[in-house]
Structure 1
Amino acid sequence: MDRISALRNVEEALSEFEAGEIDLVTMEVRVRAILRSYATEFEEQQTYEASGPPAVDGLVVVAESVQDARKQIQELISDDTKRFDVERVD
């Protein structure tokens, strides 16, 4: 999915929500799916989610490996949290 297609699909979900055709949860699910599809279209990239202390719990990144994902997550947080798990999200 290219950038323009992703933006059009998000716009469609927003329009349907504004028109009362879908609820907030449905819109959130659709937009999340669109963004993940767009992000994982990059070659050799996967989606990874962190779990552990509040500073990292639930963070999702797109990376080439678990090690790269850990590095990205560490760079995103503002504290010195070193102990957290990273798992691939399918």
Structure 2
Amino acid sequence: MDRISALRNVEESLAAFEDGERSLADLERDVRGILRTYATEFEGDLRAYQASGASAADGLVVLAPSETAARQRVRGLVDDPGEFSVVPVE
């Protein structure tokens, strides 16, 4: 999914919410799904990686060109990432 498609999908979900066709919980679920799809089907040189471990980094998903770069991005986003690993999101 490209950025424009993701933005259009979010806009459609917002419009449905504003029209009373979707609840806030539905809107949140829609947007979360749109963003997850965008990140995991990213078109370009970047790939989605998810961090896991017993730390604040657990579950964090970042886009990066490599596993090493993904680890660096996670470290840059979390104050104290502790021990963690990153794996490509399938």
- Whether 2:87 is the aligned partner of 1:55: answer no
Shift of 1:45: 2.0
Structure 1 residue runs of 5 or longer lacking an equivalent are none
The aligned residue for residue 21 of structure 1 is 21
Deviation of 1:65 (Å)? 2.3
Tell me the secondary structure at the aligned position of residue 50 of structure 2: strand
Secondary structure of residue in 2 paired with 1:14: helix
Give the TM-score normalised by structure 2. Answer: 0.72
Q: Give the drift of 1:38.
A: 3.6
* Deviation sequence 1:17-53 (CA, Å, 0-9, x none): 2333223343223222322444443423221111223
1:78 maps onto 2:79 in alignment: yes
Which residues of 2 match residues 41-52 of structure 1 at below 5 A? Answer: 41-52=42-53
| TM-score, normalisation: structure 1 | 0.72
* Greater Cα shift, 39-48 or 66-75: 39-48
Query: Please, what is the CA RMSD of the aligned residues?
Result: 2.3
Structure 2, unaligned stretches of length 5 or more?
none
Give the 3 Å change call, closer, same or farther, for CA 18–54 of structure 1 in structure 2: farther
* 1:72–1:17 CA distance, 2 compared to 1 (3 A): same
Alpha-carbon spacing, 1:54–1:20, altered in 2? closer, same or farther (3 Å) = farther
Which amino acid in structure 2 is aligned with residue 64 of structure 1?
A: P
State the percentage of identical aligned residues: 51
Equivalent residues in 2 for 1:31-42, closer than 5 Å: 31-39=31-39, 40-42=41-43
